[in-house]
């Protein structure tokens, strides 16, 4: 296990905000010095475009950019760095997959099998794909606490033409790690492909795409200690080859002719038109290396430890309702009895605690758990049990009057 005080010292946001308790890493994480340095170095030492300059600084930045595919491949245990497509983030990656299903991979009456825990970014693109292909969407029946039942899932395949299974690795509200390896095995047995939203899973859980055998995995740099503006679509090479880009322009084409013919470059370049977020990719490179140095097994274990610690402390309070007592990956959804989530969040803000309230972009989840708004505390490697203790003391003394006063 890593030394959390040493880790905290790597993060300027922690060093510069001694009194802040930041429990909103699920929205975006803090960044360590080395990520910020990579961005600063780019802008101060070798600011240039990639793949376009025949001079040293451009050649150097192009090499680091391209080498980031190898880092990310190692990070998720992909064999082939060409399977790593850079995007602007999870939303862009998830859209690219759904767009291709809508246009190329689905036929009329085919079924997209998904769930009601999805973040908007992993369901709205599939609504569009359904529309485009005249396909159908079906929802896997989850347990009332949104945990996954493999038996009910397998039953969904009976007499249905399911072509793709769309799920998150970790729900951004409930924090469960879904059994993706089993889910994928069952999908493949029935001839369906699997697209996983890794936005909340990849930063917290050791991922091995070879072992999981998923067909697509999308994630964002900014939730895994890297900068915003960059992200990844991992896809199996033979599938990426069959896909078309959503955008056309510079750097993704080998040739084009005045009759309109476009000869695209190979995977992954064909998906990366225009100047990308170069500094984002360089920062993501350092973030992935930092996480690998901490050890993703340790990151996962520490996340589980903080989650358990917080839930166990909350369980002793009469004024709290917890919605995901079995959460594993640094996400706890709860409410203070009789207090509107946003009022409580505003009061906690006054007490120096930053956390999120609302539906967390998972607007169908209320159909499963029967709650529309929750407070959501999310942890990362720089959070501590001392912060949790301080927060629990605040929660103990929270009343509706204090919350209402804080918003007046």
Torsion-angle region of 96 (φ positive above 0: left; ψ -120 to 50: alpha; else: beta): alpha
Closest separation in Å from C-beta 362 to ligand PMP: 8
- Distance between CA atoms of 220 and 224, rounded to whole angstroms? 7
Q: Is residue 377 a contact residue for ligand PMP (CB under 6 A)?
A: no
Q: Single out the residue of 91, 252, 324, 380 in contact with ligand PMP (rule: CB under 6 A).
A: 91
Residue 90 in the binding site for ligand PMP (CB under 6 A): yes
Q: How far is CA 257 from the centre of its chain?
A: 39
| Minimum gap (Å) between residue 145 Cβ and ligand PMP | 18
> Which of 119, 130, 204, 304 is the binder for ligand PMP (CB under 6 A)?
119
| Number of Cβ within a 10 Å radius of residue 189 | 10
Tokens, residue 196: 């996983």
- Least Å distance, CB 91 to ligand PMP, is 3
User: Is 164 within 8 Å of 94 (Cβ atoms)?
Assistant: no
DSSP 280-324: HHHHHHHHHHHHHHH-HHHHHHHHHHHHHHHHHHHHT-TTEEES-
Measured from the CB of residue 155, what is the shortest distance to ligand PMP in angstroms?
Answer: 25
CB of 119 to ligand PMP, least distance (A): 4
> Phi/psi of residue 254, each to 5°?
-90, -40
Catalytic residue among 109, 351, 361, 403: 361
**DSSP class of 176:** -
- Residue 122 is a binding residue for ligand PMP (CB under 6 A): yes
Helix (H) or strand (E) holding 332: strand 331-336
Using the rule CB under 6 A, give the single segment among 32-40, 117-125, 318-326, 331-339 that binds ligand PMP: 117-125
* Coil/strand/helix, residue 20: coil
Per CB under 6 A, the segment of 89-97, 135-143, 237-245, 330-338 that binds ligand PMP is: 89-97
For position 95 contacting ligand PMP by CB under 6 A, the verdict is no
Cβ(134)–Cβ(122) below 8 Å: no
Interaction mask 143-172, ligand PMP, x per CB under 6 A:
-------------------------x---x
Give the interface segment with ligand PMP, choosing from 119-127, 147-155, 298-306, 308-316 (CB under 6 A).
119-127
Ramachandran region, residue 261 (left: φ > 0; alpha: ψ -120 to 50; beta: rest): beta
Contact 151, 143 (CB under 8 A): no
Residue with Cβ nearer ligand PMP (28 or 58): 28
In the range 319-348, which residues lie near ligand PMP by CB under 6 A?
A: none
383, two tokens? 């959070």
Active site residue 361: yes
By CB under 6 A, residue 197 contacts ligand PMP = yes
Active site residues: 361
**Interface residue list for ligand PMP (CB under 6 A):** 89-91, 119, 121-122, 168, 172, 197, 199-200, 220, 222, 361
């Amino acid at each position: 296990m890593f030394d959390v005080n040493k880790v905290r010292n790597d993060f300027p946001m922690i060093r510069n905000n001694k009194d802040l308790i930041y429990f909103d890493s699920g929205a975006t994480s803090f960044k360590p010095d080395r990520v910020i340095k990579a961005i600063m170095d780019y802008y101060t030492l070798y600011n240039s475009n990639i793949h376009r300059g025949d001079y040293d600084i451009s050649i150097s930045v192009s090499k680091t950019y391209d080498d980031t595919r190898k880092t990310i491949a190692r990070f998720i245990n992909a064999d082939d760095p060409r399977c790593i497509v850079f995007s602007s983030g999870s939303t862009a990656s998830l859209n690219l997959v759904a767009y291709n299903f809508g246009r190329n991979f689905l036929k009329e009456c085919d079924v997209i099998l998904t769930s009601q825990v999805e973040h908007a970014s992993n369901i709205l693109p599939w609504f569009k794909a359904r529309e485009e292909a005249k396909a159908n969407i079906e929802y896997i029946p989850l347990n009332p606490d949104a945990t996954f039942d493999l038996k009910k899932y397998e039953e969904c395949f009976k007499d249905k033409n399911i072509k793709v299974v769309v799920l998150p690795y970790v729900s951004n509200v409930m924090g469960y790690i879904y059994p993706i390896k089993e889910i994928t095995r069952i999908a493949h047995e029935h001839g369906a492909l699997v697209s996983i939203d890794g936005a909340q899973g990849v930063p917290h859980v050791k991922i091995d795409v070879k072992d999981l055998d998923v067909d697509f995995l999308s994630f964002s740099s900014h939730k895994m200690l890297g900068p915003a503006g960059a992200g990844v679509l991992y896809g199996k090479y033979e599938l990426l080859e069959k896909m078309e880009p959503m955008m056309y322009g510079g750097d993704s084409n080998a040739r084009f002719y005045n009759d309109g013919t476009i000869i695209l470059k190979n995977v992954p370049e064909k998906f990366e038109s225009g100047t990308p977020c170069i500094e984002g990719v360089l920062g993501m490179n350092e973030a992935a290396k930092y996480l690998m140095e901490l050890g993703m097994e340790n990151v996962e274990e520490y996340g589980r430890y903080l989650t358990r610690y917080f839930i166990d402390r909350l369980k002793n309070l009469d004024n709290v309702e917890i919605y995901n007592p079995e959460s594993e990956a640094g996400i706890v959804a709860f409410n203070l009895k009789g207090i509107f989530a946003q009022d409580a969040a505003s009061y906690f803000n006054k007490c120096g605690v930053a956390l999120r309230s609302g539906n967390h972009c998972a607007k169908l989840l209320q159909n499963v758990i029967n709650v529309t708004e929750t407070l959501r505390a999310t942890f990362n490697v720089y959070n501590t049990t001392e912060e949790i203790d301080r927060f629990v003391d605040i929660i103990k003394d929270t009343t509706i009057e204090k919350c209402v006063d804080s918003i007046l």
